[in-house]
Structure 1
């Protein structure tokens, strides 16, 4: 896994922990991890419209992360470990 991906995951895991949304985030990710590739492709299709309102660099980085189920598993692990810290 690239250092950029690790930094992005750590950043989002910290944000999720700070907002107290660790349990719902892990629940959602566990529930939909088998569809993560489909969601990443849907994000690419919706990208031109979504990036009008969102930061395009982060948006496409997230869609790239979601394209691999192992990244989703690693993200769940990071959220759980940040909650325990």
Structure 2
């Protein structure tokens, strides 16, 4: 288990972003995901603190460590921008691989 005030290491952050972006693109949800992330990017820090506040209620469902990772990822707007960029890159790669449709 990690601590709430331990920052994500860049390598770990990149692996998490890659996993989320891949999951979004595999499901074909890149457009709604990008729209959602762009709209809520200014609130990402507030959302990260909301995760901390709601952790006693949500942790039994998703796991405390997952909540701590989500909180740390949302805490920095740059991470949200990295996630958006990676979703866009994977969507373009997928479109090119499938014939550009």
TM-score (norm 1): 0.95
State the distance in 2 between where 1:59 and 1:84 align: 30
1:44 aligns with 2:52: yes
Superposition deviation, residue 56 in structure 1: 2.1
**Structure with the greater alpha carbon radius of gyration:** 2
Report the number of matched residues: 85
Segments of structure 2 that go 5 or more residues without pairing to the other structure are 1-8, 94-101
State the distance in 1 between where 2:21 and 2:49 align: 23
Superposition deviation, residue 55 in structure 1: 2.5
| Correspondence list, 1:1-85, <5 A | 2-85=10-93
Q: Deviations over 1:17-51 (max 9, x none)?
A: 01111000000000010000000000110011101
- Residue 52 of structure 1 aligns to a residue in which SS? helix
TM-score (norm 2): 0.81
Q: Which runs of 4+ in 1 moved over 3 A?
A: none
